[in-house]
Structure 1
């Protein structure tokens, strides 16, 4: 026990957070793998749709989390308290609105995505407001660089979702989609552990000075715009495949997407560390590009390793993770990993510029995100064609971000 404590003392909060993110990603993969094996490709298609919607919420929630992160560095005293009260109110309002949309349009969503039940959307909807509150809470810890508490919130959310969902799927008589939705919704509640709502009063009017409020609004609107492009680029393929293809093929593609996105999920760890560090260095008039190059190097090395592994051992990877029923996706595995890697590296550049209040890369990402939707809408004769469209768009995305960086630094 003493040796364990000595080891922990030598581990920095950033290293602890990175280890925690890897554990969370591993837990999320275990969650999906178990569902894929228990449910089979057709039923897993509904579960994968819910997981994809969870990713959509995570991007919307990042608008609040990133804004809170940035202004936790820049604000203090009454300004910080006013900002936090204001942001919690906005998060709750947006959460209630999104939840109402899911509940009201549940049957329409069932028809759009060909799911077995509309009530999975209703069950998921009731948990949505908690997710946005959780995002503000996490942004506070991230901005203050309190990576220990930030790590705990991700752990509590992931483990509760894993255990509760499996309990519902195995022991309840409900449709699997409803069971998965309830597991996700309950996990948002556990993700609020730990929280610090001291001094928060939702009924208190905002006292943030007008120039500061305008600065906050501009950052949040532009960040929301970028997060919407993230939703489009990172999730539209799974949603469109669910719409255009049969349930079995959609389930197979969902397994491919889950494995291929491993590089993106790990890269997200570096984005979480990048933003507050860049804002702080910019505030102190210090050079920021060394941080960018460091994280791009990490993600690039990781990408090459994963793509190479997927190229040489695709069948083994799929059989180990999902089983024999999914092995027909083996030939596409390295190609999907390539598309995700290009997106992950380009994403590092975009968040770097976003943290410096440079928004042209956000606009570029938005245009290419729409191009991806248009491309898949026109070219979806096969799952292979869907993947090839994404590789082309992601090459354009990374190339444009590199060109913008060179022009700005030239």
Structure 2
């Protein structure tokens, strides 16, 4: 047996997924950095808008992924086969509805976000139904803890988007935003690999029982509510900056956000591992708090390191990643990283309670997410003010989630 085979055997599926998730995050950052350097701040503002819309889409898709993952653990084999048909039908129908709306309102979106054309939204809308099918596919792998296939589907999506988009920008003389949208749409097709549609029948009469359907719909509602708060908190700042500021400032802010959010994207891989473990332990009657404590510790240490690096070397980090054109954002880098770190930690609390069907954390996140939007709408005289508003809101969110956790622990 070779040394490489021994090492591979000692790597657990969860460790394989974490390594893959780090590679995916690195690839996504490489994608963003390539766009920033190729396009420059003003053109990058429109590309960053599409990336933000992709993040919004990923949060909505996460609803279907988490629902699929949870009920893959909870349901019997027979019930799961009926559930599978139901969830694919729901995701396809919902994806088509959202896609049609984006295509129909493309001209209005162009005006709202001050973009060069509406075609970027139209192309993006066409790919939305595929994304939701991909999300259910991933949920199956996550629920059954098939981390090898789950890792592969993220890899195929990320690398195809990076390679296709860069090639399109180099080879074709079209509007950059259109080419970026096309690259994103094509990557959804690659994200379906590996496909697992065996024994799946869309729009079949073989459905879940009424009792299980009720449970599924309740969890869809709960998860969708929380993912909506994620969209508001994690993306509203970029969308509002694109609306209120000129293209240059919006592009500079987008570069700041992409660097500062690194801790959030790393935290995401822990969420993927957290949910099925908590659901399984709760099902087996075992304590779940040690799982939460473990992941809070990981994210806390990671966050501290990233914030300190952004505080000590902001100019070096921005110049290395995006270039001199973006250096004016250096003083804000550590502050944005702090806001994102606070959100990432509170997010671990929220997904923990979400897996246990607790509603209060979703409501707390919703209230503070709306508060963030209202505060930015009212106070947006500078980019500094927008970042500092987010720090205040994220401190409040983390304190609220921690207090809820301790109140439940005491009970």
* C-alpha distance in 1 between matches for 2:203 and 2:234: 36
> Structure 1 residue 248 and structure 2 residue 248: aligned?
yes
> Structure 1 residue 189 and structure 2 residue 189: aligned?
yes
Equivalent positions of 1:101-180 (< 5 A) are: 101-180=101-180
What displacement does 1:101 show? 1.0
TM-score normalised by length of structure 2: 0.99
> Structure 1 residue 226 and structure 2 residue 210: aligned?
no
What displacement does 1:345 show? 0.2
* C-alpha distance in 2 between matches for 1:51 and 1:395: 26
2:24 matched to which residue of 1? 24
Q: How many residues align?
A: 410
Conserved 8 A contact 2:154-2:191: yes
TM-score normalised by length of structure 1: 0.99
Conserved 8 A contact 2:138-2:153: yes
What displacement does 1:2 show? 3.2
What displacement does 1:139 show? 0.2
What displacement does 1:206 show? 4.1
What displacement does 1:6 show? 2.1
Deviations 1:377-402 (A, max 9, x none): 01100000000000000000000000
Equivalent positions of 1:29-40 (< 5 A) are: 29-40=29-40
What displacement does 1:66 show? 0.2
1:94 matched to which residue of 2? 94
1:275 matched to which residue of 2? 275
1:8 matched to which residue of 2? 8
Conserved 8 A contact 2:85-2:207: no
> Structure 1 residue 235 and structure 2 residue 235: aligned?
yes
Which one is further off, 213-222 or 1-10? 1-10
Conserved 8 A contact 2:307-2:337: yes
Deviations 1:343-381 (A, max 9, x none): 000000000001011110000100100000000001100
* C-alpha distance in 2 between matches for 1:101 and 1:321: 36
* C-alpha distance in 2 between matches for 1:331 and 1:282: 45
Conserved 8 A contact 2:241-2:250: yes
Deviations 1:99-137 (A, max 9, x none): 111111111000000111110001111111000000000
1:284 matched to which residue of 2? 284
* C-alpha distance in 2 between matches for 1:9 and 1:303: 31
* Structure 2: 5+ residue stretches without partners: none
2:361 matched to which residue of 1? 361
* C-alpha distance in 2 between matches for 1:283 and 1:312: 45
Which one is further off, 165-174 or 365-374? 165-174
* C-alpha distance in 2 between matches for 1:409 and 1:103: 47
Deviations 1:122-165 (A, max 9, x none): 11111110000000000000000000000000000000000010
Deviations 1:208-253 (A, max 9, x none): 1111110110000110010000000000000000000000000000
Task: Report runs of 4+ in structure 1 exceeding 3 Å deviation.
Answer: none
1:299 matched to which residue of 2? 299
Equivalent positions of 1:331-410 (< 5 A) are: 331-410=331-410
* C-alpha distance in 2 between matches for 1:237 and 1:206: 44
Per the alignment, in what secondary structure is the counterpart of residue 193 of structure 1?
coil
Equivalent positions of 1:251-270 (< 5 A) are: 251-270=251-270
* C-alpha distance in 2 between matches for 1:303 and 1:206: 47
* C-alpha distance in 1 between matches for 2:274 and 2:89: 27
Per the alignment, in what secondary structure is the counterpart of residue 205 of structure 1?
coil
